[in-house]
Structure 1
Amino acid sequence: MTSPPPPPPPPHLHLISIILLLTITVTSQTFSTSEQTTLLNLKRTWGNPPSLTNWNSTTSPCTWPEVHCRHNWVVGLQLNSKNLTGLIPGFICDLRNLENVILRDNFLTGEFPRVFYNCSKVVELDISQNLFVGRLPDDIDRLSRLETLELGANNFTGDIPPAIGKLSELRLLHLYQNLFNGSIPPEIGNLSKLEVLGLAYNDFPDPEIPLEFGRLKNLKTLWMAATNLVGKIPKSFSKLINLESLDLSLNKLEGEIVPGLFLLRNLSDLFLYKNNLSGHIPLSIQCLNLRRIDISMNRLNGSIPDGFGKLRKLEVLNLYSNQFSGHMPTSIAHISTLTIFRVFRNNFTGELPPEFGVHSKLEAFEVSENMFSGKLPENLCKGGCLRGVVAFSNNLTGELPRSLERCDRIVTIQLYDNEFTGEIPLGIWTLSNISSLRLSGNSFSGELPRKVGGNLSRLEISNNKFSGRIPPEISSWVKLNVFKASNNKFSGEIPPEFTALSELTVLYLDGNSLSGELPSQIKSWNSLTILNLARNKLSGQIPASLTSLQDLLDLDLSENQFSGQIPPQFNNMRLTALNLSSNKLTGIIPPSYDNMAYENSFLNNLNLCSASQISNIGNCFVKTAHSNKFSPKIISMIIIASALVLLAAVMSTLFVFRDRVKKQPKRTRTIWKLTSFQKMDFTEANILSCMTEANVIGIGGAGKVYRIGVGQPRGYVAVKRIWNKLLDQSQENEFTSEVLILGSIRHSNIVKLLCCLSSQNSELLVYEYMVHQSLDRWLHGKKRKLEPGSVPGFVLDWPRRLQIAIGAAQGLCYMHHDCSPPIVHRDVKSSNILLDSEFKAKIADFGLAKFLEKQKPGEDDMSSIVGSLGYFAPEYAYTSRINERIDVYSFGVVLLELVTGKEANEGDEDLNLAEWAWKHYEEGGSMMGALDLEIKDPDTYMEEISTVFKLGLICTSTLPSSRPSMKDVLEILKRCNPLDLLPEEVKHGREEFAVAPLLRRESYVTSYH
């Protein structure tokens, strides 16, 4: 029997249900509209970027790719790299369910956005790579639910607040590349869930690593490169059982690596953190998970513990540039995962473990500048992945392993300054990818091959025992750029085919037994800058075809048997170094070289003569024995007459000076007004008492520059004296600008104006003294034939050049992005980049600098073109408006100067440097073909050099909008070799932030071949 149907609900319940349903629908619709309004307001606040054109009022925010929703509520914003500008507004927290906020890589400004205190559900906050400034708030722990906090690559300063240690849910904390200059709080050690900690690239004041960091039991990545760390690596690190990547490079750490530091020393360590384990513990768990150790560029010493070989997951081991000693543990060579092994520039001794390469697929093997002995390991390339063998400056012996013939991927072999013997295996010469083969300073023998690999651009075999003739087939070595073969036993003639190598820039064949005449016609040595054939047995006349080499700067043909006259076409060459000594040359020295600058260039040529009486060279106009001579009486009369004329001139000058003095009014005591801009550690009297000619170090259009000693601790100051009466209106404006700007800004990469002394007649600007003067004197001083001693005796190596570029970029970045209003320098050039005693770069000469204020309609930024030739941005020709991009262009020229060694106006075919560099790049020219030949060991830094060259190109783009900001430039310079500098997790995990700026900005840095 079926039950009766239930009675119908009362009519009022139907009504209640309908009202409730309508209420829910209306509420949901209202909230959705409210969130859409909030998002559109955010878009307007951040400058309506074109990247957010799809944000409009006609579509649901949950369909926008940058907005993540859950149940129709906004829970995430993915707004990285959207060109957002301005502040973060407080109404962002009207998105009540917001959990993930990604604002990385934009142009957002202001102090740390406390507005997020009102976003109660935020667990991920990423505002890295923006323009935030100021100190982190002491109550930052109010963001109590945070699991990810990324603040890297901003301009935060001061201390890291201890309160950050109260964010107990944090798993990732990135504070890298800021301006923190206070303490590192030990409270960070309280973050028990933390997995990634990045504090790298901050200027902390010589901190020690807090012992409390040993309590970070879940830490996987510790990145503290370039943080000024001192002291020792704490023993507490042995408790970091989950650590996978450790980077403490570029610091000042000292002491030895304690045995067992990176290993669990006993089971109590294990149970301290894994107290839920029970039963049998496998032996393998006693080794940590370390995959990457980088403690390079510190002051660590002692031997390497054998326990390193127990790190069975280790992939990268960087120990270079320390003071380690002793033997290399054999156990390291048994690590099956090892790919990168860099221990160069230490004091290691003994033999290299022969097992290297047997158990793992090595990619880089760099052991140079040690005291290793014995043979090079035979199986380095067994895994087939090796790209470089760098073992120069050791005591290695024996022959080269024949297994290297099978290294198809190898790019560079650098074994110079060792004791190797035997012949080079033929397969090494012809490796398909090898570009650099550097074997100088050994005892290798044999002849040159007929064929080499198609990419070989640098061959250095000087100071060996190579012999035989230079084969005509050398013309097939088409990529050869540098060939150094000094002091061998090569014989025979130089084949004409040799001159067909169009990319050759450097050629050293001095100290051999080459004979015969030079080729009378030179085919394609158009790029040659150095030609050294000294100490051979070459004969015949110097061919006039040499004078067609317009790029040739250094020519040495000394100690040969050349005869005949020096071709008169030498007058058209631009040689900075010439040596034709010890030959059999005759006739007159060409006028361009008949001066004291080349007085040692023509010695021991008995029949060569000078028209200007160069010492040690015969005078072409000396009378012969049969010529008429002046009598002693006539000579005496000439001398007496000359003396009387001179005396009369002196007396006349003295009378005129006396009359002028009488007519002058009596002098009154000069009153000086002192205006100080910095803390003074000297007095007005220190300056005024030393304003003498003996202290002058430079002269300008309106005054002089003095170096004046002021005692310790400062030592010296530089004083620019400007005579008021010599100033025109333009110069007076420059003086005012210099005082106004330098007196109001402070930055470690901007030269300090200490004070100003003013009187009725002159102004004295007192600056900090820069010991190494200006960058251009180091890059170009020798070319300009400055007076002896004006340029130091050694050249800038690449690490110093990169350091200078980064320092100058930091100064400009501060002016453009951290000053309010921003400052445009308008005269950035290598002569306005000064270098202190440690080659730290500082921007100087702010006479043309200008604050960027908002203009009224129709108002111009400037009335005329200012700056220096070769550094002008192209838009100067068609606009009077200025912005920061003109400084970026000029700085790009400086970068090109650092890489190429050329001056700003030095190009080919009336091109300036920027135009030449673009042409060289667009025509597919090699990187070696653009490189300054004075850069030592360029292969070691080629990736960095390439990046800086390409960055210089994009900075000098014709279109201003295509140029990066100085913040972008600085970021790329600091990361010009990102895959070496960053932890593996950064490269391969979700934290792709650090390589993203370089890899993402394809328009800035493209691949270079």
Structure 2
Amino acid sequence: MSATNAFRWNLCLLCLLCLVCLPSGATSDEIQLLLKVKAELQNFDIDVFDSWESNNSVCNFRGITCNPDGRVREIELSNQRLSGVVPLESICQLESLEKLSLGANFLQGTISGDLNKCVGLQYLDLGNNLFTGPLPDFSSLSGLKHLYLNSSGFSGLFPWKSLQNMSGLISLSLGDNPFERSPIAEEVFKLYDLNWLYLSNCSINGTLPPEIGNLNKLINLELSDNSLSGEIPAEIGKLSKLWQLEIYANELTGKIPVGFRNLTNLENFDASDNNLEGDLSELRFLNQLVSLQLFDNSFSGQIPEEFGEFRRLVNLSLFSNNLSGPIPQKLGSWADFDYIDVSENSLTGPIPPDMCKNGKMKELLMLQNKFTGEIPVTYANCSTLTRFRVNNNSLSGTVPAGIWGLPNVNIIDITMNAFEGSITSDIAKAKSLGQLFVGNNRLSGELPVEISKASSLVSIDLSNNQFSGEIPATIGELKNLGSLYLQNNMFSGSIPMALGSCDSLSDLNIAHNLLSSKIPSSLGSLPTLNSLNLSENQLSGEIPASLSSLRLSLLDLSHNRLTGRVPQSLSIEAYNGSFAGNAGLCSPNISFFRRCPPDSRMSREQRTLIVCFVIGSMVLLGSLAGFFFLKSKEKDDRSFKDDSWDVKSFHVLSFTEDEILNSIKQENLIGKGGSGNVYKVSLSNGNELAVKHIWNSDSGGGKKTRSSTPMLAKRSGKSSEFDAEVQTLSSIRHVNVVKLYCSITSEDSSLLVYEYLPNGSLWDRLHTSRKMELDWETRYEIALGAAKGLEYLHHSCERPVIHRDVKSSNILLDEFLKPRIADFGLAKIVQANGGGKDSTHVIAGTHGYIAPEYGYTYKVNEKSDVYSFGVVLMELVTGKRPIEPDYGENRDIVSWVSSNIKTRESVLSIVDSRIPEALKEDAVKVLRIAILCTARLPALRPTMRGVVQMIEEAEPCRLVGIIVNKDGVTKKMEGKTEKFNPSP
């Protein structure tokens, strides 16, 4: 090589090295683009953008992956608590971008048409966000292989045509979005490389076409929670690679098609809540099944014997079908079996013995069948069981002793069988047991005193058996006990005085036993007792005067041996018949009782002496009362005038503490509750406030009642817990949550000052004498506003606030009937001083609104609020109360609604008659949401964020005019006109 050529070669090499070492101009541009992205997005607590600085290499930015040329290839910022609008204009200028993952954040707004400029994308994840509006056409993204848009609030019609150029798509996830109703477009069935298709809960209707068989690479197919109808196509049997098939909650009919047996890789199959029929014979070849859910259908025939050989099966749910015959006896004996629910069928034969063979089983639910034989002794050692329900069968024999003492079981229900034997002392080990139902059997013997060790018990039903001996006084130690049913047994002796210690008791029935002696006066101190039945015993003596303080919906003391006067407050028409069969009872003023005669054996001098004594006592008591009244007034005056008050304001105040303090008097009292009194305060500027006054239990200045004292018993002066909770409430700023202006505290008491809502509560407007006509539009706006208030508490506060007592009486209405969530967290404020926020085993909430899991777990979470809100929605749609006699015994509005949704006509019949026919369909949309909210399983309930989205989609069309033309009568709606037949 010549010197000249060598020089040229070295020069070229040097230039090349310089080019490699110099920073790329394109990379510098990409830094600026990413800094624009940073400026548009915010994150809550993790500073994901701490490395996104102009002096840093773009490849060192957190969440950024570069290709070998130093250009941005991937943006991975999923699950980073990001908010704001996606800056697609900047993002799509990154020319080498192949992956954009922003899922599981709090991103908002609409998706702009700039998405079409991200032409190099192969992976796009915008799922689980808070977007609004429709999706733009994105047909230019022809290289996409993975598309995740699920659970993000997208609406409108999905742009199916955008998929026609994406022949290489592998994953498609569009579910859980309120799209407009439409069938699955044919473009989907041409995506031959798809292995993951998620289209659940996105308003799909029509049938599942035979073309589904084209997608023979699918391993996951989810189409649940839609409106699919017709039969399952036989072509689904071509999807031999399927691992999971979810088609539950649709309107599918017909049989499981021939050829389904070819899905030999299927592990999870859920076709529950449809109208399917026929037998299960096509499933007997699917020996890889892990979970099989077919409940709420019309399947018939026998459970295939092959199910007993399925070595991986752990979950089997076939309840509410028409199945018959025995259960395979080897069922569940191979794997770590988890649960079985075959309730509400016509199954016969014995219970399989080995479903808990590996010690992992949690739920055994076999109620309402025709099972025979004994409970296998193997379940006595199944310590993992949480639910054991075999009621309403023909089982017999002795219950294995270990069943009574299962440590994790929260319900034992063996009612309506032919069991014998006794409840053993093993029950002392049942620390989690909340419900014990053994009624209508042949059980006998004494109730063990160890039952008090099952300290979580809320409900006990031993009725219609042959129990004998005395009722153990240790039952008084069950502080959570809410109902005790011992009727129709042979209990003897006296009613334990200790029952008066069961402060949570609401229903007590000990009728038709052999009890004697007196009615214990301690029963009169039960603060929540609602029903008392002691009839058909041998009780004697007088009726305790303490029973006069009870407010009972049912009282039955009939057919005993009681004597003396019926207390004045019980001598009312409502209790007519409650005292029948007690010849020794009398009443001086009620016609249906025997008149009480004067006691002629007493001399005139004795009577005169007694009268003088009574008059003298009255004078003395009057003097003492006056003295204590003056001392109390002096104390009250000192508390409100002389004490030092600490004011913490959370808004700009237009009033002084003196204006509040001077208004806390009897004439301003507008309500009472377990946590304090509520006063209406009218300010000098014309504004009105509501003030809740809470006395400290040890202050000596307030009224110490059973309802208020225990909850504040551990609070002395200014509680740090109280202040912390008030601070949480004070930080809440939402138009649908009642405003807390300030707290005013002293050593004696605390005042919480709220805005005053003049239209009272939703309960008042729906159910009481203050009832008003609420049109459907108003009801809808109340539902939406209240939902948004709860959504804010659950999802938008720094820490989620769980209400714990959602009900129509805690939804207050302003002058324009706009709703405010009230009393949120107040029970938590008060009870927190008695223990940790989750430590209490007292069921929070109000009867009729309480989620079913409360009785089993006592755990409080957001889904419990969702259930209660679902009940409120049912009240708005039906106009009925949560509990009404028309529903039947032990039934509430949720079960009543469920029993009336079989046909379109039956659904419309339960809509409030005050809602016009033309708007009843709109009301039914909200009723559907209510049914989702009140699902038995918390996991199946939507979040409040999802509830808000669904209610917004159910917005009623407003009637703005009626036009009559040659085509008939039409109603003109805002934005559309549709034909309708006017009601006669």
Pick the TM interval, shorter chain: 0.5 to 0.7
**CA distance in 1: counterparts of 2:18 and 2:798, whole angstroms:** 61
- Provide the residue aligned with 1:159 in structure 2: 157
Cα shift readout 1:66-105 (whole Å, capped 9, x = no counterpart): 2222222221112223222124341112222111111112
Asked whether the equivalents of residues 434 and 856 of structure 2 are also in contact (C-alpha less than 8 Å), the reply is: no
- Provide the residue aligned with 1:296 in structure 2: 272
Q: 2:468 aligns with which of 454, 479, 491?
A: 491
What is the CA-CA distance between 1:829 and the residue it aligns to?
Answer: 6.7
- Provide the residue aligned with 1:34 in structure 2: 29
- Provide the residue aligned with 2:573 in structure 1: 596
- Provide the residue aligned with 1:864 in structure 2: none
**CA distance in 2: counterparts of 1:602 and 1:347, whole angstroms:** 47
- Provide the residue aligned with 2:222 in structure 1: 223
Cα shift readout 1:175-200 (whole Å, capped 9, x = no counterpart): 11111122121321111011111111
State TM-score, norm by structure 1: 0.63
Q: How does 1:467-478 map to 2 (within 5 A)?
A: 467-478=444-455
SS in structure 2 opposite 1:155? coil
1:59 aligns with 2:56: yes
Q: 1:108 to 1:495 in 2, by over 3 A?
A: closer
What code does the residue aligned with 2:303 have? M
Asked whether the equivalents of residues 68 and 77 of structure 1 are also in contact (C-alpha less than 8 Å), the reply is: yes
**CA distance in 1: counterparts of 2:100 and 2:790, whole angstroms:** 41
Cα shift readout 1:550-609 (whole Å, capped 9, x = no counterpart): 132222112222222222222333433322222233344434444333334333333434
What is the CA-CA distance between 1:114 and the residue it aligns to?
Answer: 2.7
**CA distance in 2: counterparts of 1:16 and 1:31, whole angstroms:** 23
Unaligned segments of structure 1, at least 5 residues: 265-286, 625-728, 732-810, 814-824, 836-840, 852-866, 876-882, 956-969, 983-993, 999-1009
- Provide the residue aligned with 1:858 in structure 2: none
1:573 aligns with 2:573: no
Cα shift readout 1:530-555 (whole Å, capped 9, x = no counterpart): 21111112122111111222132222
SS in structure 1 opposite 2:467? strand
**CA distance in 2: counterparts of 1:887 and 1:848, whole angstroms:** 25
- Provide the residue aligned with 1:192 in structure 2: 192
What code does the residue aligned with 1:37 have? Q
What is the CA-CA distance between 1:127 and the residue it aligns to?
Answer: 0.8
What is the CA-CA distance between 1:128 and the residue it aligns to?
Answer: 1.1
Asked whether the equivalents of residues 873 and 886 of structure 1 are also in contact (C-alpha less than 8 Å), the reply is: no
Asked whether the equivalents of residues 196 and 220 of structure 2 are also in contact (C-alpha less than 8 Å), the reply is: yes
Q: 2:490 aligns with which of 513, 521, 531?
A: 513
- Provide the residue aligned with 1:90 in structure 2: 89
- Provide the residue aligned with 2:806 in structure 1: 894
What code does the residue aligned with 2:279 have? S
What is the CA-CA distance between 1:527 and the residue it aligns to?
Answer: 2.3
Asked whether the equivalents of residues 805 and 845 of structure 2 are also in contact (C-alpha less than 8 Å), the reply is: no
- Provide the residue aligned with 1:45 in structure 2: 40
SS in structure 2 opposite 1:360? coil
Asked whether the equivalents of residues 829 and 894 of structure 1 are also in contact (C-alpha less than 8 Å), the reply is: no
Cα shift readout 1:120-148 (whole Å, capped 9, x = no counterpart): 211111111222233334x4322111111
Q: 1:504 to 1:65 in 2, by over 3 A?
A: same
What code does the residue aligned with 2:579 have? F
What code does the residue aligned with 1:191 have? L
What code does the residue aligned with 1:158 have? G
What is the CA-CA distance between 1:43 and the residue it aligns to?
Answer: 1.2
- Provide the residue aligned with 2:515 in structure 1: 538
Cα shift readout 1:834-855 (whole Å, capped 9, x = no counterpart): 89xxxxx98945999999xxxx
**CA distance in 2: counterparts of 1:222 and 1:505, whole angstroms:** 46
Q: 1:935 to 1:335 in 2, by over 3 A?
A: farther
Cα shift readout 1:384-416 (whole Å, capped 9, x = no counterpart): 221111001111111111111231211211001
What code does the residue aligned with 2:37 have? L
SS in structure 2 opposite 1:177? coil
Asked whether the equivalents of residues 384 and 408 of structure 1 are also in contact (C-alpha less than 8 Å), the reply is: yes
- Provide the residue aligned with 1:403 in structure 2: 378
Q: 2:763 aligns with which of 831, 844, 855?
A: 831
Q: 1:384 to 1:420 in 2, by over 3 A?
A: same
Cα shift readout 1:927-953 (whole Å, capped 9, x = no counterpart): 674476768994699589854466679
**CA distance in 2: counterparts of 1:500 and 1:390, whole angstroms:** 30
What is the CA-CA distance between 1:309 and the residue it aligns to?
Answer: 2.1
Asked whether the equivalents of residues 829 and 890 of structure 1 are also in contact (C-alpha less than 8 Å), the reply is: no
What code does the residue aligned with 2:194 have? L
Q: How does 1:781-792 map to 2 (within 5 A)?
A: none
1:7 aligns with 2:6: no
Q: How does 1:981-996 map to 2 (within 5 A)?
A: none
Q: How does 1:289-328 map to 2 (within 5 A)?
A: 289-305=265-281, 307-328=282-303
1:352 aligns with 2:358: no
Asked whether the equivalents of residues 82 and 106 of structure 2 are also in contact (C-alpha less than 8 Å), the reply is: yes
What code does the residue aligned with 1:75 have? R
Asked whether the equivalents of residues 374 and 398 of structure 2 are also in contact (C-alpha less than 8 Å), the reply is: yes
Give aligned-pair identity as a percent. Answer: 29
What code does the residue aligned with 1:300 have? L
- Provide the residue aligned with 1:123 in structure 2: 122
What code does the residue aligned with 1:202 have? C
- Provide the residue aligned with 1:922 in structure 2: 836
**CA distance in 1: counterparts of 2:92 and 2:437, whole angstroms:** 64
1:74 aligns with 2:72: yes
Q: How does 1:193-212 map to 2 (within 5 A)?
A: 193-204=193-204, 206-212=205-211
Asked whether the equivalents of residues 128 and 152 of structure 1 are also in contact (C-alpha less than 8 Å), the reply is: yes
**CA distance in 2: counterparts of 1:847 and 1:621, whole angstroms:** 63
What is the CA-CA distance between 1:442 and the residue it aligns to?
Answer: 0.6
- Provide the residue aligned with 2:249 in structure 1: 250
Asked whether the equivalents of residues 833 and 843 of structure 1 are also in contact (C-alpha less than 8 Å), the reply is: no
**CA distance in 1: counterparts of 2:247 and 2:194, whole angstroms:** 18
Q: 1:116 to 1:467 in 2, by over 3 A?
A: same
Unaligned segments of structure 2, at least 5 residues: 601-685, 689-734, 738-756, 768-774, 811-819, 870-928, 947-984
Asked whether the equivalents of residues 948 and 976 of structure 1 are also in contact (C-alpha less than 8 Å), the reply is: no
Cα shift readout 1:698-750 (whole Å, capped 9, x = no counterpart): xxxxxxxxxxxxxxxxxxxxxxxxxxxxxxx999xxxxxxxxxxxxxxxxxxx
Q: 1:730 to 1:248 in 2, by over 3 A?
A: farther
**CA distance in 2: counterparts of 1:551 and 1:597, whole angstroms:** 19
- Provide the residue aligned with 2:667 in structure 1: none
SS in structure 2 opposite 1:135? coil
Matched pairs, number? 711
Q: 1:330 aligns with which of 286, 305, 329?
A: 305
What is the CA-CA distance between 1:319 and the residue it aligns to?
Answer: 0.8
What code does the residue aligned with 1:290 have? L
SS in structure 2 opposite 1:348? strand
What code does the residue aligned with 1:571 have? S
SS in structure 2 opposite 1:84? strand
SS in structure 2 opposite 1:105? coil
- Provide the residue aligned with 1:393 in structure 2: 368
**CA distance in 2: counterparts of 1:9 and 1:846, whole angstroms:** 86
**CA distance in 2: counterparts of 1:199 and 1:120, whole angstroms:** 25
What code does the residue aligned with 1:46 have? L
Q: 1:448 to 1:849 in 2, by over 3 A?
A: closer
1:553 aligns with 2:513: no
State TM-score, norm by structure 2: 0.65
- Provide the residue aligned with 2:359 in structure 1: 384
Asked whether the equivalents of residues 804 and 860 of structure 2 are also in contact (C-alpha less than 8 Å), the reply is: no
Q: 1:231 to 1:833 in 2, by over 3 A?
A: farther
Structure 1 window deviating more from structure 2 (45-54 vs 66-75): it is: 45-54
Q: 1:339 to 1:827 in 2, by over 3 A?
A: farther
What code does the residue aligned with 2:151 have? A
**CA distance in 2: counterparts of 1:941 and 1:302, whole angstroms:** 37
